[in-house]
Structure 1
Amino acid sequence: MNQISTFTNDERPWLRAVHEKKKTRSVQLGKSAIDSLVKEGKPVTLNNIHNRSKELDPTGKGIHPNTIKTNEELFDYYKQHSHTHKQRQTNKPPSSLNMPQDTHLRRINPNRNLVHLRQKYMKLTKQELVARLIQAEQFIAENQTKWTASMFEQFS
Structure 2
Amino acid sequence: MEDNVKGFKNFIMRGSLIDTAVAFIIGAAFGAVVTSFTQIVLDLLGKLGGTPNFSSWAPGGVHVGTFLTALISFLILAAVVYFAIVVPINKMRELRHPDAEKTQTEAEILTEIRDLLARNEAQGIERVNDLAASNSPSLEGRTQARRSSDG
| Higher normalized contact order (CA 8 Å, seq sep 6+, divided by chain length) | 1
Structure number having the greater helix percentage = 2
Task: Specify the TM-score bucket, using the shorter chain as the normaliser.
Answer: under 0.3
Query: What's the TM-score, normalizing by structure 1?
Result: 0.26
